Structure formats: structure tokens, C-alpha cells
Amino acid sequence: MRDDFCVFILTHGRADNVITARTLKRQGYTGKTFFVVDDQDGQVGRYRENFGAENVLVFDKEDAWRRCDPMDNAHRMGVILYARNACFDLARKVGVKYFLELDDDYKQFCFRWRNGDKLDWKDMDDLDAVFEAMVEFLIATNADTVAMAQAGDFVGGIGSTAAGHPLLRKAMNTFFCRTDRPVRFQGSINEDVSMYALAGLRGRLVLTLTSAMIVQMVTQTNEGGMTGTYLDGGTYLKSFYSVMAAPSCVRISMLHGGTKDTAQHWRIHHHVKWENCAAKIVSAKWRKGK
């Protein structure tokens, strides 16, 4: 694995259950990994015991709060926003040019492709090679950040938007970033959606590569992390932060998230109107002559 790259696993209150760490090891990642923990986490010592003190990076959460725009006055601290922005300072501290931000609850990293009239998938077994390729893609496209797709992007199977496009103008959960080009997150909840919606409006390039996919634990079922915040506020509050950030292209909608027998059959969710969001680049052949 290239030595100017590392993985940051952003985690809180799950020192004995960092699923992503086990998944990375199982699927062939051998590079540098750091666990990003805030100084208000009561399990900091346990993280150091489990993963080695040299691999646990602790940031000042109050200081991070003062340097972010949470888009509210609730002083809500149990959110990932502060860790996301702190990673750029931490990357400079550990001396890397590129890094990957991961949540702590990933069960699988997969390839996803169209196979006739259905979608096929296969677990990755050499994450070193995959992450190297993603960094090269980040550099070649000159994007601000690139991401892997989420399993939820493929709801609807072969007819889903993700199945029909190799690239999407969004990024969630997995962020391949450059240390010298910070991506700023805002909004104490739904910070990733607000980031890419605002980036699209400003003509910045944010991409998801749909041939690569991560599979997470079912949302709001894993103790620790942001589960408590989501359960307290509900998905309407979560989604509305992105409406506040970019009202011209984000609205509240309903998302089908399971079968009739599950509590997640329908839930409130954000909906991005891409015609109003992502900047279009007109081919130079249409430029008028002087």
C-alpha cells in the first residue's frame, strides 16, 4: 500500500465493536489505519488497549465544534460532523497526502456490476489494490472527494439509478480525500448530503464510483456512534438539515426501506433534484467564435 495514504475509522463508543476494522483486515487491507476518537468518548482508554495507543488519534471536540457550522444552536455533540472536519488536521499530523474516511460499521466491501438483466456482486479480496485505484481516480479526475456507492443506492435492482450510471455526483460514508484540499462538512446531522449538494451548486466535483460498494449495518440498530442522535430526532430532522443547506435542490421525501413487515417499510428521507444541483459543463464545441 502506498505510504502517503491512510484510513481513518471515525468511531465513538464502540471500542469493542469496530466492525469496519475487522472487515478491512478480512478483505486484504494492509496499510496504515487510525481510529479517530473525540476527547469526550469515555472509551478512549479501551480503544488504545484494543488497537494500540499509536493508532488512536484523539481530537478536541469542543474546539472542533467552535470551528464548524452545525446549522443549529443545540450544541449537539453526539454527531460525526466534528470528526469529519478534524480528519484534515489529523492527516497533516500523521504526514499523509491522501486518506479515506470510513464509518465504523461496514460489513462488506464489494464489486457491483450489471450481469444481463440483474445486478451481480462479489466481495473484494485485495483492498490495497482497490484503495490504490480509488486514490489514482481521485487524482486523475481532480475531484474534491470520491466515494464508493452504498448498498441502498441499488434499491430497485437493475432499474436503480446507480445501476445505470458508472458515476454519480454525490458522496456519502466513504470519502477519499486530499490533505491539501479540505472538504468542509456542515450541519450537525446529514452532513454528507449537505456537503455534496452545496459542492454541486458551487461547481465543485464530488463523485461516487458505482462499481464499488460498501454494505453497512442496518441504520439505527447498532449501539454507539450516532444511533442515539438519529433515534432522538428522527429522519425528518436529519433530512431537513440538507433542505436548509440547499433549499433550491433538496426537499423532504419518502423512502422505501424494507418489506411491509419491517418498521422501515417507509421512512422520511431527503430527495435531491439533480437538475437544480449539479453544474453542467457544456462542450467547448458549442463556444461562439470571437
- What's residue 140's pLDDT? 97
- Summarised one tens digit per residue, pLDDT across range 129-159 is 999 999 999 999 999 999 999 998 998 889 8
Whether residue 211 contacts residue 112, with contact meaning beta carbons closer than 8 Å, is answered with: yes
C-alpha 144: how far from chain center: 13
Instruction: Please report, in angstroms and rounded to a whole number, the separation of the first and last CA atoms in the chain.
Output: 50
Q: Is 0.85 topped by the overall pTM?
A: yes
Whole-number average pLDDT of the chain: 91
- What's residue 224's pLDDT? 53
CATH superfamily of domain region 5-219: Spore Coat Polysaccharide Biosynthesis Protein SpsA; Chain A (3.90.550.10)
- Summarised one tens digit per residue, pLDDT across range 178-218 is 999 999 999 999 999 999 999 999 999 999 999 999 999 87
277 pLDDT more than 80: yes
The C-alpha atoms of residue 189 and residue 166 are separated, in whole angstroms, by 28
Helix or strand (DSSP H, E) at 143: none
Relative orientation angle of helices 227-245 and 191-201, to the nearest 10 degrees: 20
Res. 67 pLDDT band, cuts 50 70 90: very high
Q: What percent of the chain has pLDDT over 90?
A: 76
- What's residue 235's pLDDT? 80
